[in-house]
Amino acid sequence: MATSEYHHGEMDIQAQQSTWDGFITGSVWGGLMIILSVGYAVLAVAIGMNWMVSLGLMAIVGFGAGLFLNLGARWMATMVLLILLALLVQGFIWLFSVLL
C-alpha cells in the first residue's frame, strides 16, 4: 500500500469555502428576486390590484427579507434600484397609453 502525504484536517479549503459562500449568497439573492418579481406580477396582473399597492407590498417584503436574512446594505441598495426601475417602467407604460 502506498503512503500518502494527506493528513485529515490540514488542507487549506479557503477557496472552496469562498466559492460555496458565493453560491449560497447568489442563490438567496436570485431566489428573492424571483419571489418578488412573481409576487408583483401575481398581485398586479392576476389579481388586478393597483400597481402602486403591489409595488409597495413587494418592497416591504423585499426589505423585510433583507433584514431577516441579514443581507446588508447591498441588498437594500438593490431594492431601491429595483423600485426606481419599476417606477420608470410604469412611467413608460403610462406615457405610451397616453399617446395611443
Q: What is the reported pLDDT for 3?
A: 67
The tens digit of pLDDT for each residue in 7-46 reads 777 778 888 999 999 999 999 999 999 999 999 999 999 9
How many other β-carbons are positioned within 10 Å of the β-carbon of residue 86? Answer: 20
Q: CB burial class (10 A; 0-12, 13-18, 19+) of residue 53?
A: exposed
The tens digit of pLDDT for each residue in 36-48 reads 999 999 999 999 9
Q: Give the span between the Cα atoms of 28 and 34, in whole angstroms.
A: 10
For 11-37, give one letter per residue: b (16+ CB within 10 A) or e.
Answer: eeeeeeeeeeeeeeeeeebeebeeebe
DSSP state of 42: I
The ranges assigned to domains in the chain are 31-99
Q: Which residue has the higher pLDDT, 1 or 87?
A: 87
